[in-house]
């Protein structure tokens, strides 16, 4: 069965433009895209190193997926809702979350999930696909209130095998909610390759079943990602309903720092191929160099400033009051059941004895 699912690319692997971007992306935005991708890449590498040193908890890296997260988040307006997973702190950072809060989150502080004032960023969703339903509900509420804003839900290819994915798309399709479903298809749901979890050739084609717009985009092409999300927002605000976007990308590192991808795939060979041929930063760098708006001197200047900002944010997070295991009982029940209260009291007594 042949399905008409587009694959959209604007910036080729060689840094060449396949179509005009005039009126869509100007020079100022191009530079902003590059600096933001550089920021989140250096942040990601720093977090991996800090975890290995025992200074952060288990961490979910995203290096290689910068164009997908940065390009999509830059397309949003401040009033739009962002629903991230545990791997989408690059998108959250671009949309307004602080470096400081991101470090707090990965250090195990619940306060790391606090949204900045006048921003609409939900806490990272660790359960797979559950937040997609929240994004649909929020978008529907916005529509009923007559607000002009969208909700974007980030997820990986593994989430598309969850029931919540289908329920979210069905509900969004029926009520034409202004929701953007943004899938970063990394090709693996931890150790399970996509072809072993799905008979469908693409994720984008699943939009057909719910009569919504579906599109595949080069997830390492920040221009294509940005334009695709912008157009999805415009459709949603016109009342034309949700969009399912499948961004084809690849993560260079492990699923998390607790995972060893060498056990189920040739990680080194795959990463080398994507780094050498399709890296999102290198691709944009080639284009900017052709336009004479990138230089090694600028690169060094940006890196110096970014590293200083990262260092400052982490040092601030390090000085945050240490958390207590008792916090696990907060923010779960409005009224704690007797057995949960009993466990809380037992732990409290244990901790008190330990102190004394």
CATH number for the domain harbouring residue 272: 3.40.50.970
Question: How far, in Å, CA of 176 to CA of 325, rounded?
Answer: 43
Judgement on whether residues 334 and 196 belong to the same structural domain of the protein: no
Question: pLDDT at residue 5 above 80?
Answer: no
Q: Which residue segment(s) compose the domain that 350 sits in?
A: 324-356
Over residues 110-158, the pLDDT tens digits come to 999 999 999 999 999 999 999 999 999 999 999 999 999 999 999 999 9
Same domain, 149 and 225: yes
pTM for this entry: 0.95
The four Cα atoms 122, 128, 134, 137 give a dihedral, to 10 degrees, of: 150
Residue 2 domain-assigned (yes or no)? no
Residues 263 and 331 in one domain: no
Q: Is residue 158 part of a domain?
A: yes
Q: How many domains does the chain have?
A: 2
Do 328 and 276 share a structural domain? no
Same domain? 342 vs 251 = no
The SS3 assignment for 55 reads coil
Residues 218 and 241 grouped into a single domain? yes
Q: 87 near 93, Cβ under 8 Å?
A: no
What's CA 125's distance to the chain center, in Å? 11
The residues assigned a catalytic role are: 251, 255, 264
Determine contact, residues 82/91, Cβ cutoff 8 Å: yes
State both tokens at 118: 């006048």
Q: Are residues 283 and 342 in the same domain?
A: no
**Residues 241 and 95 both lie in one domain:** yes
Structure tokens at 36: 């933001």
Q: Do 194 and 272 fall into the same domain?
A: yes
Residues 309 and 336 in one domain: no
Q: Tell me the pLDDT tens digit for each residue of 28-83.
A: 999 999 999 999 999 999 999 999 999 999 999 999 999 999 999 999 999 999 99
Q: Do 207 and 263 fall within a single domain?
A: yes
């Amino acid at each position: 069965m042949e399905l008409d699912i587009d694959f959209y690319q604007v910036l080729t692997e060689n840094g060449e433009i396949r179509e005009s971007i005039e009126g869509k992306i100007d020079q100022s935005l191009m530079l902003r895209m590059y600096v933001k991708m550089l920021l989140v890449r250096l942040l990601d590498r720093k977090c991996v190193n800090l975890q290995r040193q025992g200074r952060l908890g288990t961490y979910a890296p995203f290096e290689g997926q910068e164009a997908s997260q940065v390009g999509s988040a830059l397309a949003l307006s401040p009033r739009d809702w962002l629903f991230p997973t545990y791997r989408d702190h690059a998108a959250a950072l671009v949309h307004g979350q602080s470096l400081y809060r991101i470090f707090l989150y990965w250090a195990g502080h619940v306060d790391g999930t606090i949204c900045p004032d006048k921003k609409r960023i939900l806490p990272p969703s660790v359960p797979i696909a559950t937040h997609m339903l929240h994004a649909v509900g929020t978008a529907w509420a916005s529509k009923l209130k007559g607000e002009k804003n969208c909700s974007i839900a980030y997820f990986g290819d593994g989430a598309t095998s969850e029931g919540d994915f289908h329920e979210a798309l069905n509900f969004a399709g029926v009520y034409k909610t202004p929701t953007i479903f943004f899938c970063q298809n990394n090709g693996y749901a931890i150790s399970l390759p996509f072809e072993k979890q799905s008979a469908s050739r693409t994720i984008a084609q699943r939009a057909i079943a719910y009569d919504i717009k579906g599109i595949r985009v080069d997830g390492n092409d920040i221009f294509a990602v940005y334009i695709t999300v912008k157009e999805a927002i415009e459709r949603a605000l016109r009342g034309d309903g949700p969009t399912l976007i499948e961004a084809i990308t690849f993560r260079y590192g492990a699923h998390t720092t607790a995972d060893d991808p060498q056990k189920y795939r040739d990680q080194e060979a795959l990463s080398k191929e994507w780094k050498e041929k399709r890296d999102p930063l290198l691709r944009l760098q080639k284009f900017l160099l052709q336009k004479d708006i990138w230089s090694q001197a600028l690169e060094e200047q940006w890196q110096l400033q970014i590293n200083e900002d990262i260092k400052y944010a982490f040092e601030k997070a390090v000085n945050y009051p240490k958390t207590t295991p008792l916090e696990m009982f907060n923010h779960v029940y409005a009224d704690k059941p007797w057995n949960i209260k009993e466990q809380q009291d037992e732990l409290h007594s244990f901790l008190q004895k330990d102190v004394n």
